Amino acid sequence: MERKKICIIGGGASGLMAAIMAAREGGEVTLLEHNEKTGKKLLATGNGRCNLTNTCQEPSCYHSLSGNLAWEILQGFSFQDTIRFFSQIGVYTKNREGYLYPASMQASSVRDLLEMEARYRKVKIKCKEHVKDIKKEGEGFLVVTETWSYPADKVILSAGSRASAIQGADGSGYELAKNLGHSLIPPLPALVPLKGKGNWFSKWAGVRTEGRVSLLAENHIFDQAQGEIQLTDYGVSGIPVFQVSGRAVRLREEGLKVTLLLDFLPDFDREGLAAFLRARQEQCPYKSVKQLLIGLLPEKLAEVLMTGKPDISKLAEKIKEFPIEITGGKSYEQAQVCSGGVPLSEVYSDTLESRKVPGLYLAGEILDTDGICGGYNLQWAWTTGALAGRSAARNIRKTLQERS
Ligand SMILES: Cc1cc2nc3c(=O)[nH]c(=O)nc-3n(C[C@H](O)[C@H](O)[C@H](O)COP(=O)(O)OP(=O)(O)OC[C@H]3O[C@@H](n4cnc5c(N)ncnc54)[C@H](O)[C@@H]3O)c2cc1C
């Protein structure tokens, strides 16, 4: 009998999706996962609620050093396809201002339903199988784990990244890809808190405040984001900081001086703010400059802004453009994703088959694309998993048809 085996390495979001799509197309699928169960990271997503995609999709939501290739790939399995797919397997989605969650608000339902569908499609799920090598064998492969060797016609490498403290995120997939001849854009933490240079951080630690962050390097604003900023004893965190963090870490790694400019009152422009403060000063002559900030900003933050006893125009400048020199990101363990990975130019955009190793497909975060917060990283996992799984199985079918 003809072999039509597909071996998938990594049973996370993209691997489970790939397994289902490949099995639906008639592939005989084995999925190898080194944890004791599939989808551990998936269970942690969205604070346990799983923000599985977003209805607002734009090229700027995805970062990659390969320019527009990520966006091109995403067209192959869109967020509408994702919603349809999840509805088919039983996940009814709830829309919270464009952010989509399972109606149960439980990430476990997403994981469980993916696994149920995969098992129904006769995917062999083998846990506690750490893949340590993928050998080319004739036209196929031999996937070597610590206990066994699995022959395969096609291999899908969906082993994720080094990000998070979740068991299994060891980055071993990068080595597997490299050993097969792929290059690697050095993976770095993204969606991660940022550390700064300064001696005031302990004074503002614990404050959460609305604001805008701008990422400045070489006199150029690379990125901006707005939302709740968390001021910490090492620097800054919170969603807007996460949104710019991947680029900040990479620019810093490239040796550039990277500064975050924090705008604590985005509703005002600088002149408007100075005028507002002066008017308050005239109206309330009994107030010190610092007391003018009562009711505008949290007290601990006002304390830091008042260092050096600035006059009103200096104070307005500090509120609108408070600079923090970034010294780096927190660790991989504290990151939600990694930037970098296998360059998208090394895979075909429509199938995700490797341009270097025919029969090998790559899916998920191992590829050089990281999304902003809001369901974009899972959308990348669903898209790439679906395309890789489907293409691997169709490719086998085509070969079998040609032979018969
Ligand atoms: C705390 C947290 C919250 C997040 N929340 C969201 C969110 O709400 N929305 C969103 O879009 N994204 C979110 N993300 C990001 C998202 O989870 C990832 O981008 C996504 O899971 C990546 O999918 P993947 O399949 O590439 O990798 P993973 O889901 O990490 O799967 C890879 C799998 O491969 C296994 N593996 C690795 N190496 C081997 C090996 N050598 N042999 C066998 N198995 C191996 C791993 O154990 C893992 O199960 C969050 C991430 C974290 C850490």
Pocket test for ligand 1, best of 175, 378, 383, 387 (most atoms within 8 A of CB): 378
- Residue the block writes with tokens 């339902």: 109
User: Residue 231 pLDDT more than 80?
Assistant: yes
Same-domain status, 73 and 116 = yes
Q: Residue 67 — very low, low, confident or very high, per pLDDT cuts 50/70/90? A: confident
The β-bridge relationship of strands 62-63 and 131-137 is: unpaired
User: pTM for the complete prediction?
Assistant: 0.96
Kindly report the protein residue whose alpha carbon is nearest to atom 52 of ligand 1.
336
Q: How far is the CA of 309 from the centre of ligand 1 (A)?
A: 48
Same-domain status, 320 and 345 = no
Pocket of ligand 1 (CB under 6 A): 9-15, 32-35, 40-42, 44-46, 50-51, 130-131, 158-160, 163-164, 166, 168-169, 172-173, 336-337, 364-365, 375-378, 381
User: Residue 309 pLDDT more than 90?
Assistant: no
Atom of ligand 1 nearest to the CA of 45: 5
Instruction: Render the burial of 305-325: b for 16+ CB within 10 Å, e for the rest.
Output: beeeebebeebbebbbebebe
Q: List Cβ neighbours of 397 (8 Å cut-off, separation of 6 or more).
A: 4, 25, 26
Integer distance in angstroms from the first to the last C-alpha of the chain? 12
Q: How far is the CA of 173 from the centre of ligand 1 (A)?
A: 12
Q: Are 38 and 125 contacting, i.e. CB atoms less than 8 angstroms apart?
A: yes
Q: Are 191 and 223 contacting, i.e. CB atoms less than 8 angstroms apart?
A: no
Same-domain status, 81 and 167 = yes
Same-domain status, 202 and 118 = no
Boundaries of domain holding 298:
194-329
pLDDT of 3 reads 52
Same-domain status, 167 and 30 = yes
Same-domain status, 15 and 163 = yes
Q: Residue 224 — very low, low, confident or very high, per pLDDT cuts 50/70/90? A: very high
Q: State residue 259 phi and psi, 5-degree precision.
A: -125, 140
Q: What is the mean pLDDT of the chain?
A: 96
- Helix (H) and strand (E) counts for the chain? 12, 21
- pLDDT tens per residue across span 86-140: 999 999 999 999 999 999 999 999 999 999 999 999 999 999 999 999 999 988 9
Residue 139 parent element (H or E): none
Domain boundary, last residue among 329, 346, 368: 329
CATH assignment at residue 58: 3.50.50.60
Same-domain status, 259 and 350 = no
- pLDDT tens per residue across span 331-348: 999 999 999 999 999 999
Q: How far is the CA of 393 from the centre of ligand 1 (A)?
A: 23
User: Residue 194 pLDDT more than 60?
Assistant: yes
User: Residue 386 pLDDT more than 70?
Assistant: yes
Q: Which two tokens stand for residue 382?
A: 């669903």
Instruction: Render the burial of 124-134: b for 16+ CB within 10 Å, e for the rest.
Output: bbbeebbbeeb
User: Residue 1 pLDDT more than 60?
Assistant: no
Same-domain status, 211 and 303 = yes
Q: How far is the CA of 364 from the centre of ligand 1 (A)?
A: 8
Domain boundary, last residue among 293, 310, 329: 329
Q: How far is the CA of 277 from the centre of ligand 1 (A)?
A: 48
The β-bridge relationship of strands 5-9 and 28-33 is: parallel
Same-domain status, 183 and 198 = no
Same-domain status, 121 and 268 = no
Q: How far apart, in whole angstroms, are the C-alpha atoms of residue 222 and residue 264?
A: 19
Overall number of domains in the chain: 2
Same-domain status, 358 and 304 = no
**What's the chain's Rg over C-alpha atoms?**
24
Give the helix, strand, coil percentages of the chain, each rounded to 5: 40, 30, 35
Same-domain status, 211 and 318 = yes
Q: Residue 397 — very low, low, confident or very high, per pLDDT cuts 50/70/90? A: confident
Pocket test for ligand 1, best of 37, 45, 339 (most atoms within 8 A of CB): 45
Q: Residue 322 — very low, low, confident or very high, per pLDDT cuts 50/70/90? A: very high
Q: Residue 2 — very low, low, confident or very high, per pLDDT cuts 50/70/90? A: low
Kindly report the protein residue whose alpha carbon is nearest to atom 20 of ligand 1.
378
- Determine the residue type at 339: S
Q: How far apart, in whole angstroms, are the C-alpha atoms of residue 6 and residue 30?
A: 6
